[in-house]
Amino acid sequence: MTADLADRIAAANAVGLRRLSDAEPVLARVRRAVEAIPALRDRVVLHAGPPIAAGSLCGPMRGAIVGAVVYEGWAHDLRDAETLLDRGAIALRCTHDEGAVGPMAGIISASMPLLEVRDARHGITAYAPVNEGIGAVLRFGANDDAVISRLRWLRDALAPALDAALRQTGGVPLVPLMARALTMGDEMHQRNVAATGLLFRAVAPALVERCAPGPALSQIVRFLANNDQFFLNVAMAAAKCAVGALGEIPYSTLVTAMSRNGVAFGIRVSGLGDQWFTVPAPVPTGMYFPGFTPEDANPDMGDSAIVETIGIGGMAMAASPAVVGFVGLPSMRDAIAATQSMGEITLGQSPHFKIPTMDFVGAPLGIDLRRVVKLGITPIINTGIAHRQAGKGQIGAGIVRAPLPVFQQALAAFAARYAAGVGRRAPPETVIPPARAGN
Amino acid sequence: MTADLADRIAAANAVGLRRLSDAEPVLARVRRAVEAIPALRDRVVLHAGPPIAAGSLCGPMRGAIVGAVVYEGWAHDLRDAETLLDRGAIALRCTHDEGAVGPMAGIISASMPLLEVRDARHGITAYAPVNEGIGAVLRFGANDDAVISRLRWLRDALAPALDAALRQTGGVPLVPLMARALTMGDEMHQRNVAATGLLFRAVAPALVERCAPGPALSQIVRFLANNDQFFLNVAMAAAKCAVGALGEIPYSTLVTAMSRNGVAFGIRVSGLGDQWFTVPAPVPTGMYFPGFTPEDANPDMGDSAIVETIGIGGMAMAASPAVVGFVGLPSMRDAIAATQSMGEITLGQSPHFKIPTMDFVGAPLGIDLRRVVKLGITPIINTGIAHRQAGKGQIGAGIVRAPLPVFQQALAAFAARYAAGVGRRAPPETVIPPARAGN
């Protein structure tokens, strides 16, 4: 690599790291998906991960899509929904292309409520669906009547109430809340107990003020109070918003997305825009719930690895002692070693997100494509494990190492694009626009 | 020491440790103090720490007492209240003697609402006042109109609502909640952010169901949602309840209370019943808020060190990285060393309270008078620092080491009592009654 190219990369990455560091995501609203994402007007369903054809879907994602088709009323039952899907009457698009992210199957359809996270400083908006809780849920491919009914309740009861409360509070700034949750044992991928509680505390007074009292309100309060993973989707939207602020920067080697559709594992890189690089998705290693083995596991799935791009989740393993054993690590020592090793492939440390058990050192921030390939150390992603059949739900939790070949592939593309540019003048820093959400 | 005496002590301590370990405190009610503690019917005020005469009170405790006298309507203003106090018209009793504990000044008077914690298994009930929040509050000796008004609001608005919610939930079991809060960075003395949030989540749905909607309810929800130290008083009542279950056991060298009245530091020991051993209270070492120095500090004050007798607070320093710097320790390494050293003076490890950063080893449980004296290692207590003048409030936070001489004094008394008993038959284990709360 020439010194010229190295300098351009360093300059671009410095800009990117600064944007990642000073992103100011605020949970502002809960909105109907089609209002937020006009592409959903026609029979379009968004899914997690890189784009995929209907014929290639894994079991749980297929299950979630046909569930969404029934939920929308486009089909009377699951069988009719499968027929629609198979004959191409349902268009599939990937969440990331629409400024959204969703955990596991990550399904978003027109009438679903979306969490809206805004960064006014950078002019970015990002979306995520509302977390349904645990057990039999759409995101793991469950699609029975109870699942569909819960989705309707989220849309008709919870969403308007939470939206009213958020508007009354003026929005909940997420960086300080997430920083605090890190001091409370959450890494905000596998564990969101503290962050959920802090969000609940932030919105509960306004909920009580703004909503008509009665059983509906108490059901909403109970749902928010008892769903320990509620914040996961908020953290994901915050992360999507932050990488939206980072955006497309020519010459930048910063990773802007890691995502899986249950078949392929894909990444995006700032300097390469919205191009996906993909390899087959690995099966997570970890702990299985009683009665399940890796034979039952679907390959890794979901947009949730977006949180690792902003230094939390597996990158911040040492912040979350309770997660250490849950994902199958032997001890805190290993968790600290894991977070330290992530420091080797990142370009900086978060000025906001601190690791309490490491004397509040900043979380590893800004995954550098070059370092990953050079050192052969790939990002650690904390993840849930879905059964490979639709509707069976979560069967465990563990760790996925992002596959090295996908980074090698992206670096080759980076070299192909930018080697030609050496000697020409790089776009000056000041005219690099922040990306729209969706990039 | 003879082998016979050593055996009796070991047997008694094994019983005590088991009772401490299997205590089941449940936050059951919020009740008017005089209903819970009949001694409050006359002009009696309870205070933290060992008994003290009105003429010997420190500034902040005196300020809090006269505030309570005005709050009760026994005097028109603070000056009249001081006159009443000085002429002996207000009787002072110590909280511990009435089955109660209170932080800092620990003042309890007839009409104050008390948190009621019950252990049905051991038949123990313990009480603590409701935490007022931070800033200018009675427990730090503040007593102006705003302080008195807030006390009345706690009594008239918050207490009935919280009581109704608790009764609807059937009570909140505190051991699992506290165990979870330890995994979320609380040590439940200096830091109660997580535990407060978990309690709020536990009662919020019932609060919304049971209470008339409107501004009163939203004010209550706002207070509970925004008072990070709300749980301190709950933890203290839980600890008092647990040492009540331990109770008076002949031959036991387990410490059942550590408490301070701002002048004296006192301890009680299971085998020596309700006798106080006292020495002058030390000034905490720690971090001062801007503008304050150790010159401004009152000697240590409050019943809150009861939490250290059940393995949390300073004993569990390693569980709470965010507290480490706040109390002036240099690093996590020191926090882990602190908790490890507490293991040397305790007889067991909590089967429930685990230290996440130490791979979930049990918290050091059951302070042994003999080990403290033999090793010269005294319990570490996390504490707030009050200004020595009434009404100035909190000026810092830090650590107090329980003074060694008070343990030496108690051990001498223990030897005097039980050396005579050597050779006689000890009371069999099965007839050792659990102590009433208050002992």
What separation, in Å, do the N-terminal and C-terminal C-alpha atoms of chain A show? 28
Q: Do A205 and B225 lie within an 8 Å CB cutoff?
A: yes
A328 within 8 A of A398, measured Cβ to Cβ = yes
Give the A:B interface size as CB pairs under 8 Å. Answer: 97
Rounding to the nearest 10 degrees, give the CA dihedral for residues B217, B219, B220, B225: 120
Give the count of beta carbons closer than 10 Å to the beta carbon of residue A6: 13
Distance separating alpha carbons of residues A180 and B332, to the nearest angstrom: 18
Q: pLDDT tens for residues A390-434?
A: 888 889 999 999 999 999 999 999 999 998 654 444 444 434 444
* Region for residue B232 given its phi and psi (left: phi exceeds 0; alpha: psi -120 to 50; beta: otherwise): alpha
Chain A residues in contact with B325 by the CB 8 A cut-off are 360
Give the count of beta carbons closer than 10 Å to the beta carbon of residue B314: 28
Distance separating alpha carbons of residues A13 and A252, to the nearest angstrom: 5
Q: Say yes or no: A208 contacts chain B, CB-CB below 8 A.
A: yes
Structure confidence at residue A436 as a pLDDT band (50, 70, 90):
very low
Q: At residue B198, what is the residue type? A: L
Distance separating alpha carbons of residues A178 and A186, to the nearest angstrom: 9
Helix (H), strand (E) at residue B207: helix B193-210
Question: How many domains, chain A?
Answer: 1
**DSSP-H helix ranges across B39-97:** 59-71, 78-86
Cross-strand partners of B308? none
Cross-strand partners of B394? B386
Name the phi and psi angles at B410, rounded to 5: -65, -35
Average pLDDT, chain A: 93
Q: Say yes or no: B356 contacts chain A, CB-CB below 8 A.
A: yes
CATH code assigned at A137: 3.90.1700.10
Cross-strand partners of A94? A47
ipTM comes to: 0.89
Answer whether residue A56 is part of any domain.
no
**Positive/negative CA dihedral, A344, A349, A353, A354:** positive
Q: Do A221 and B200 lie within an 8 Å CB cutoff?
A: no
Q: Say yes or no: A225 contacts chain B, CB-CB below 8 A.
A: yes
Answer whether residue A109 is part of any domain.
no
- For residue B200, give the 3-state DSSP assignment: helix
Closest CB to A183 among B212, B225, B322: B322
Rounding to the nearest 10 degrees, give the CA dihedral for residues A389, A395, A396, A399: 0
Cross-strand partners of A265? A260, A279
Give the count of beta carbons closer than 10 Å to the beta carbon of residue A1: 11
Q: Do B218 and A202 lie within an 8 Å CB cutoff?
A: no
Q: At residue A303, what is the residue type? A: D
Distance separating alpha carbons of residues A262 and A265, to the nearest angstrom: 8
Residue A380, min C-alpha distance to chain B (Å):
20
Positions in chain B whose pLDDT score sits under 50:
422-439
A399 within 8 A of A286, measured Cβ to Cβ = yes
Average pLDDT, chain B: 93
**Chain centre to alpha carbon of residue B346:** 19
A417 within 8 A of A12, measured Cβ to Cβ = no
Cross-strand partners of A349? A364
Distance separating alpha carbons of residues B334 and A394, to the nearest angstrom: 40
- For residue B365, give the 3-state DSSP assignment: strand
Distance separating alpha carbons of residues A325 and B311, to the nearest angstrom: 23
Query: What is the token pair recorded at B357?
Result: 């950063």
Nearest Cα to A303, choosing from A260, A365, A367, A274?
A260
Query: What is the token pair recorded at A262?
Result: 């249950």
User: The domain containing residue A431 runs over which residues?
Assistant: 1-28+116-439
Q: pLDDT tens for residues A171-200?
A: 999 999 999 999 999 999 999 999 999 999
Q: Say yes or no: B332 contacts chain A, CB-CB below 8 A.
A: yes
Q: Residues near A293 by Cβ (< 8 Å), separated by ≥ 6? A: none
Asked if the model's pLDDT at residue A1 lies above 80, the reply is no
- The reported pLDDT for the residue numbered B393 is 86
DSSP-assigned states of every residue in A44-89: EEEESSS---GGG--HHHHHHHHHHHHHTTSSSSHHHHHHHHHTT-
Residue B190, min C-alpha distance to chain A (Å):
14
Q: Do B213 and A218 lie within an 8 Å CB cutoff?
A: no
Closest CB to B221 among A193, A204, A321: A204
DSSP-assigned states of every residue in B262-330: SSEEEEEEGGGTT--EEEEPPPPEEEEPTT--GGGBPPPEESGGGGGGGT-GGGGGGG-HHHHHHTT--
Minimum CA–CA partner of B223 in chain A: A205
Q: pLDDT tens for residues B128-143?
A: 999 999 888 999 999 9
Q: Say yes or no: A331 contacts chain B, CB-CB below 8 A.
A: yes
Order of strands across the sheet with B380-386? Answer: B285-288, B394-401, B380-386
Query: What is the token pair recorded at A240?
Result: 């999507």
Q: pLDDT tens for residues A337-381?
A: 999 999 999 999 999 999 999 999 999 999 999 999 999 999 999
Query: What is the token pair recorded at B59?
Result: 């500034």
- The reported pLDDT for the residue numbered A421 is 52
Answer whether residue B130 is part of any domain.
no
Q: Say yes or no: A193 contacts chain B, CB-CB below 8 A.
A: yes
- The reported pLDDT for the residue numbered A88 is 96
Distance separating alpha carbons of residues B50 and A133, to the nearest angstrom: 49
- For residue A238, give the 3-state DSSP assignment: helix
Distance separating alpha carbons of residues A271 and B285, to the nearest angstrom: 53
Burial B169-184 (b: 16+ CB within 10 A, else e): bebbebbebbbbbbbb
B262 within 8 A of B301, measured Cβ to Cβ = yes
Answer whether residue B280 is part of any domain.
yes
Q: Do B208 and A202 lie within an 8 Å CB cutoff?
A: no
Cross-strand partners of A45? A92
Distance separating alpha carbons of residues B333 and B162, to the nearest angstrom: 40
Q: pLDDT tens for residues A253-273?
A: 999 999 999 999 999 999 999
Distance separating alpha carbons of residues B179 and B183, to the nearest angstrom: 7
Answer whether residue B233 is part of any domain.
no
Q: At residue B332, what is the residue type? A: M
- The reported pLDDT for the residue numbered B422 is 45
Crossing angle for the helix pair A193-210 and A215-226, nearest 10 degrees? Answer: 160
Answer whether residue A98 is part of any domain.
no
Local structure of residue B368 (DSSP, 8 states): B
Residue A16, min C-alpha distance to chain B (Å):
30
Distance set, CA A401 to CA A60, A253, A270, A331, B279 (Å): 21, 19, 21, 18, 58
Nearest Cα to B382, choosing from B310, B309, B432, B323?
B323
Q: Say yes or no: A176 contacts chain B, CB-CB below 8 A.
A: no
Chain B residues in contact with A217 by the CB 8 A cut-off are 208, 213
Distance separating alpha carbons of residues B238 and B173, to the nearest angstrom: 10
Nearest Cα to B267, choosing from B368, B140, B358?
B368
Closest CB to B213 among A184, A198, A213: A213
User: Average of pLDDT values for A119-124?
Assistant: 96
Burial B13-31 (b: 16+ CB within 10 A, else e): bbbbbebbbebbbbbbbbb
- The reported pLDDT for the residue numbered B421 is 52
Answer whether residue B143 is part of any domain.
no
Closest CB to B197 among A183, A201, A321: A201
User: Average of pLDDT values for A141-169?
Assistant: 96
Q: Is B235 exposed, middle or buried (0-12, 13-18, 19+ CB in 10 A)?
A: buried
Closest CB to A194 among B194, B222, B226: B194
Distance set, CA B279 to CA B45, B342, B375 (Å): 23, 21, 19
Q: pLDDT tens for residues B279-337?
A: 999 999 988 999 999 999 999 999 999 999 999 999 999 999 999 988 889 999 999 99
Distance separating alpha carbons of residues B202 and A156, to the nearest angstrom: 25
Give the count of beta carbons closer than 10 Å to the beta carbon of residue B409: 16
Answer whether residue B418 is part of any domain.
yes
Q: At residue B76, what is the residue type? A: H
Q: Do B360 and A193 lie within an 8 Å CB cutoff?
A: no
Closest CB to A359 among B186, B198, B332: B332
- The reported pLDDT for the residue numbered A422 is 45
Distance separating alpha carbons of residues B346 and B11, to the nearest angstrom: 15
Name the phi and psi angles at A336, rounded to 5: -65, -40
Q: Say yes or no: A436 contacts chain B, CB-CB below 8 A.
A: no
Distance separating alpha carbons of residues A61 and A76, to the nearest angstrom: 19
